[in-house]
Amino acid sequence: MTGYESILMAGKGRCRNLKFDLKNLSSVGRYYRDYHIPEDETMVVYAYRSACSLIEMEGNGTVITDRAIYFHPTHQNWGEGNRIPLSTICQYIIFQESSQEGVSLLSKDAKYQIFGYTVAPADTTGSELVELLTGLQQHMMMSDQSERKQYEYTLAWATSHVRKSLKERGRLTEKQHRLLKIIGRDAAFTDSAVLLLAEDIYRDMDERKYQSFLSTLDGVVHKKLLHSLGDPDGLFYESYVQDLSGVLALQLTKSLVKPYGNLLRKMELSLHEAVILCLLCVRMDDPGLFEPMYRAIKKSLGPKRLWQIAGFRAKYSKDKMGGAFEAMLTGNLPPCGLLDLRDDLGFTCLHYALILRNKDLLIRLLSQKDWGEGEGPIRGRKLIDCAYNYFFVAVQIYQDPKILQLVLAYTKREARPLLRSIRRIDNFIDIAGRRCYKAREKLKFCSGEKQKAFHEGRLGEVRQFERQILDLREEMDCCEKRRSELLEMKAEISRELQSLLGAATAEARMQEKILRESDQPLTNYILRLYQDEQLLFSTFTRTAISWRVANYRSLYFLLPEDVTTSLPHIDFVNQKMVWQGEEEEDTSFEGDVFINPREAERVEKERQRAEEEKAREKARQEKQRKERAAYRAAGESFVEERKKSWFSEAARCDLSVLKREYHSLVKKYHPDATGNGATAVLLQQIMEERARILENM
């Protein structure tokens, strides 16, 4: 036996589902030919899925000779790609996600699936194949130190690959968890694998789950590492925040739903948890929670952290608006879900439709929703609000009075009723015109029929047609008069709208003069953006990798990195912040907690609901107490279900019977008759039931 053959044959007793001793099989020659196995190699092991194979060795399995592994290809071209020399086995990680999954060989340069999956849970062929090849690896590494180095190189690559995936995707997959467990079996890589697993669990934002994971590590890792894992914020917080505020991939956002939900369910948050929740709120489009949380923690954050959160929010908003902007560039309306979107600068889709100077798109977009007049993103700054006013933007860009009038009519509060009136008048004018046209056509027909009847001597019909012609002419005169009145009304409203347009245009020109004289950096940039189309495109196309975040009061917005501004700003190069100042730690007193407003609101609602339920129960018990007292005062025993009705079935159908029974009950249970005011409760029940019966009669 060769070296490899003897090692493989040693697994014969353990691997019961693998086929050994293949030399004596009569069909061996066919498999040498089908698998392209050289004649100087000896078949040692054959693995196949017994649950899927009707005939032994039908070509759906894996053959191991004394020199190489041959596996069934997923394509028709057989060759070197289906042969892996056993001498290179230490260059691979032998991987199987579960006993039913396929067996793969993984390395930096290649990935081979050498054995397929099965649907039979009891089939352990794949697991036995993994065990056999792993044993071969271990023997080779013990015999040759160079093989050990090759395997360590592959483990280092796999660890790096998983770490990169964690950074890009936010969380690890089940397959990567399994891969880390395989990596962790090697003593040299145990700590690296444990750290990656711990970081992934930390990112779940579930403290109980993290502590449960730590309890499984006792005796597995060094006490020093176990002690450091006891402070997960110190190990993993910075990298988590960096990843949350960096990569904008959709797959990362999808993987963050679970930690977002876990933090939402917590009433009290640490500063680190609150920062992570703020970033998750940005990704989950939850400004209603972001704003109060950000205000609550703002004083406890260092300047770098503030820029990191605000800059990421600005970038995220700009990227979302990029989808709508791309649609509008091609002349299409943005998706309905983006119509209410505001980007980092506070612009809406209508702002960009105006700046793009596409009149057809603008007309279609105006009718999509009630846009309002357009306001700035900073509350209480009326001067800045002027720069965001839709009509103001239109005046900066368009000279066409029709477009200006349309924007005015759709966005100015005073102009909208005038626009509605003009549209209704146009509708009435159209109706009057159609009625006049129909009357005119009918008049022509009646005139012809009258002439025909006159020549044929049908005088009665002639007089009838004359009356119809007279009525039709009156109707035409009425329609023409109505149409003239409507046209006059439309002209009057149009003059009013035109006057409003002139006043609004003059006001916009004055506002522009005031804005330019104020020389305010934000409004100067906005006015430049309205006129410079190249700058507009740069804000979307040249901020993909590197950009500049500027700040004015509470507004953080993106600029292309080469645009200068006097506003405070921070540059992001290759998606990383370039921080020039001294780094300051986030500051909060030990034990400080921040209340989650969303959870606090839910708890308050639950408390109010519990109090209301308690009050209802108390009222029910009080009512029952009064009823018991009333029955005792009336000299009767109280049974809760005793009195389903005070009146008989006959009383429900006959008014006279109802009247007689009612008088009898009143005499019996009236407080004056019983001498006890408690019976007033029973009298009230009797009166209410009588009222219901009368209502149903």
* Alpha-carbon gap, residue 588 to 72, rounded angstroms: 61
End-to-end CA distance of the chain: 105
Least confident of 155-169, 316-330, 411-425, 529-543: 411-425
Q: What integer pLDDT is reported at residue 179 of this predicted model? A: 94
* Alpha-carbon gap, residue 86 to 653, rounded angstroms: 98
* Alpha-carbon gap, residue 19 to 388, rounded angstroms: 77
Q: Among residues 95, 126, 143, which one ends one of the domains?
A: 143
Q: 509 and 377 share a domain?
A: yes
Q: What integer pLDDT is reported at residue 113 of this predicted model? A: 85
Structure tokens at 525: 């940039």
Contact predicate 116/102, CB 8 Å: yes
pLDDT exceeds cutoff 80 at 682: no
Q: 497 and 602 share a domain?
A: no
Q: What integer pLDDT is reported at residue 105 of this predicted model? A: 92
264 within a domain of the structure (yes/no): no
State mean pLDDT over 21-26: 72
- Written as one letter, the residue type at 244 is L
Counting the structural domains of the chain, the total is 3
Contact predicate 275/550, CB 8 Å: no
Closest by CA position to 147, among listed 190, 192, 92, 95:
92
- pLDDT band, residue 248 (cuts 50/70/90): low
Q: What integer pLDDT is reported at residue 588 of this predicted model? A: 62
- pLDDT band, residue 636 (cuts 50/70/90): low
Q: What integer pLDDT is reported at residue 250 of this predicted model? A: 62
- The pLDDT tens digits for 375-415 are 888 887 888 889 999 999 999 999 888 898 888 888 888 77
State mean pLDDT over 197-221: 91
What torsion, rounded to 10 degrees, do the Cα atoms 660, 665, 670, 676 define?
Answer: 160
Sheet with 68-71, edge to edge strand ranges:
43-47, 62-65, 68-71, 83-85
Closest by CA position to 2, among listed 46, 63, 43, 61:
43
* Alpha-carbon gap, residue 637 to 263, rounded angstroms: 57
Q: 513 and 603 share a domain?
A: no
Q: What integer pLDDT is reported at residue 406 of this predicted model? A: 87
Q: What integer pLDDT is reported at residue 643 of this predicted model? A: 53
Chain centre to alpha carbon of residue 589: 35
* Alpha-carbon gap, residue 323 to 326, rounded angstroms: 5
- Written as one letter, the residue type at 351 is H
Q: 518 and 610 share a domain?
A: no
580 within a domain of the structure (yes/no): no
487 within a domain of the structure (yes/no): yes
Q: 107 and 13 share a domain?
A: yes
Closest by CA position to 297, among listed 319, 279, 318:
279
561 within a domain of the structure (yes/no): no
What is the longest distance spanned by two Cα atoms in the chain?
A: 129
Residue 166: CB atoms within 10 Å = 21
Helices 680-696 + 655-669 axis angle, to 10:
170
The domain spanning residue 120 has which CATH number? 2.30.29
- The pLDDT tens digits for 41-78 are 888 888 876 554 433 334 457 888 889 998 875 444 45
* Alpha-carbon gap, residue 200 to 192, rounded angstroms: 13
Least confident of 126-140, 433-447, 564-578, 598-612: 598-612
Q: 602 and 512 share a domain?
A: no
- The whole domain housing 433 covers 370-523
Burial of 524 (0-12, 13-18, 19+ CB in 10 A): middle
Q: 501 and 607 share a domain?
A: no
* Alpha-carbon gap, residue 293 to 301, rounded angstroms: 12
State mean pLDDT over 114-132: 81
602 within a domain of the structure (yes/no): yes
Q: What does the mean pLDDT of the chain come to?
A: 83
Q: Among residues 99, 119, 143, which one ends one of the domains?
A: 143
- pLDDT band, residue 88 (cuts 50/70/90): very high
Q: Among residues 88, 112, 143, which one ends one of the domains?
A: 143
Alpha helices in 170-270 (DSSP H): 174-184, 190-202, 207-215, 223-229, 232-244, 250-254, 257-264
The residue among 194 and 423 whose pLDDT is bigger is 194
242 within a domain of the structure (yes/no): no
The structure tokens 């357009």 sit at 374
Question: At 64, which helix (H) or strand (E)?
Answer: strand 62-65
Phi, psi of 62, deg, nearest 5: -125, 130
- The pLDDT tens digits for 426-470 are 888 888 888 888 888 888 888 887 777 777 777 777 788 778 888
Q: 603 and 686 share a domain?
A: yes
Q: Report DSSP letters for 431-465, one per residue.
A: HHHHHHHHHHHHHHHHHHHHHHHHHTT-HHHHHHH
350 within a domain of the structure (yes/no): no
155 within a domain of the structure (yes/no): no
- pLDDT band, residue 655 (cuts 50/70/90): confident
* Alpha-carbon gap, residue 551 to 566, rounded angstroms: 10
Closest by CA position to 513, among listed 399, 400, 403, 396:
396
Q: What integer pLDDT is reported at residue 684 of this predicted model? A: 77
Contact predicate 258/276, CB 8 Å: no
Highest mean pLDDT among 247-251, 417-421, 503-507, 679-683: 503-507
Q: 605 and 519 share a domain?
A: no
User: Which DSSP letter does residue 19 get?
Assistant: B
Q: What integer pLDDT is reported at residue 471 of this predicted model? A: 81
- pLDDT band, residue 644 (cuts 50/70/90): low
Contact predicate 23/43, CB 8 Å: yes
Q: 637 and 503 share a domain?
A: no
Non-local (6+) Cβ contacts of 435 within 8 A are: 475, 479
